[in-house]
């Protein structure tokens, strides 16, 4: 054990905030109500596991998906233990702000607005919003044709924000993307605006029936892993992510979950 590590661990084992303060310097004091302890090499990572193929729960309740595998690989690469915590999507940023989690990976689009309250890793996935409609709908073919329609979206998402800009649209908001897609499938909404990879996966896996994607993608978006503002862990996160992109692990995971190689290179920044 390196001396600095020893001091760090010794400081932590004493536990009291006052002692932590006295240890100062390299000791991260990121608070965590739920046991995440960044300084001891444990990151509690929030995710909303209803967004396949990025994150979902398998039959045994195990978290699976591209994001889950990527975050586990990042943990190994950075030498930290990663522990996932399931949270509602719109609760992730508040949890980061409160310091109860060290990171969030949840197909989260890097936006300028979110970047005011949290820090993002470099982009790790290129996505975009798609319009889904009923299979027999020949009228709704583009973003423009959504005017006055009933649109189902997931709370707190970029899709919900985009739907909010459509004239005279009636917006129905759901806690998860599958619930919004189900509303469309049931005939209770005219369209869903949601991340293209997730909507396409729901259709191809047969999870949602009678639904198709129409028109062009309405946005290009990049996903990032979010951390609290000025997190001492951001650099380690980015270093590990770049290493995984460079050593082929990223491509292998992409291939595993999307069946193809990634298209194009990722930009350095999300907006
Ligand atoms: N990418 C979208 C967003 O960030 C949706 C994310 C999600 O529902 N997990 O708003």
Specify which residues 192 forms β-bridges with. 132, 152
Residue nearest to atom 5 of ligand 1 (CA): 157
| CATH code at position 25 | 3.40.190.10
Residue nearest to atom 10 of ligand 1 (CA): 157
pTM: 0.86
Average pLDDT, the chain: 89
Residues 105 and 192 in one domain: no
Q: Rounded to the nearest 5 degrees, what angle is found at the Cα of 64, between the Cα atoms of 61 and 70?
A: 145
Residue 60 lies in a domain: yes
Residues 58 and 107 in one domain: yes
Residues 63 and 164 in one domain: no
Q: Rounded to the nearest 5 degrees, what angle is found at the Cα of 259, between the Cα atoms of 257 and 205?
A: 70
Residue pLDDT, tens place only, 14-35: 333 333 333 333 333 444 445 5
Measured in Å, residue 127 CA sits from the centre of ligand 1 at 10
Residues 120 and 144 in one domain: no
Residue 263 confidence class, pLDDT cut points 50, 70, 90: confident
Residue 161 Cα: closest atom of ligand 1: 10
Residues 121 and 16 in one domain: yes
What is d(CA 162, CA 5) in angstroms, rounded to the nearest whole number?
47
Helix (H, G, I), strand (E, B) or coil at 245: helix
Measured in Å, residue 132 CA sits from the centre of ligand 1 at 16
Residue nearest to atom 7 of ligand 1 (CA): 107
Measured in Å, residue 224 CA sits from the centre of ligand 1 at 10
* Boundary of a domain, candidates 214, 246, 266: 214
Q: Which structural domain range is residue 173 located in?
A: 129-214
Residues 65 and 181 in one domain: no
């Amino acid at each position: 054990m390196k001396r600095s590590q020893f001091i760090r661990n010794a400081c932590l084992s004493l536990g009291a905030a006052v002692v932590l303060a006295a240890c100062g310097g390299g000791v991260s004091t990121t608070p965590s109500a739920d046991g995440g302890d960044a300084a001891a090499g444990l990151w509690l990572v929030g995710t909303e596991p209803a967004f396949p193929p990025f994150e979902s729960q398998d039959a045994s309740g195990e978290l699976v998906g591209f994001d889950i595998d990527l975050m586990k690989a990042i943990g190994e690469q950075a030498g930290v233990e990663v522990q996932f915590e399931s949270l509602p999507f719109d609760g992730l940023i508040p949890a980061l702000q409160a310091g109860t989690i060290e990171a969030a990976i949840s197909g989260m689009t890097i936006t300028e607005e979110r970047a005011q309250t949290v820090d993002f890793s470099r982009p790790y996935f290129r996505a975009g919003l798609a319009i889904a409609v009923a299979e027999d709908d020949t009228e709704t073919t583009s973003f423009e044709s959504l005017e006055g329609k009933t649109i189902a979206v997931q709370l707190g998402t970029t899709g919900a924000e985009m739907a909010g800009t459509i004239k005279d649209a009636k917006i129905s908001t759901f806690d998860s993307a599958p619930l919004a897609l189900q509303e469309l499938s049931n005939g209770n909404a005219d369209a869903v605006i949601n991340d293209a990879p997730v909507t396409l996966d729901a259709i191809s896996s047969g999870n949602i029936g009678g639904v198709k994607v129409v028109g062009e993608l309405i946005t290009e978006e990049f996903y990032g892993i979010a951390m609290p503002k000025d997190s001492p862990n951001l650099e380690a996160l980015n270093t590990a992510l770049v290493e995984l992109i460079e050593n082929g692990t990223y491509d292998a995971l992409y291939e595993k979950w999307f069946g193809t190689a990634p298209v194009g290179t990722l930009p350095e920044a999300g907006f």
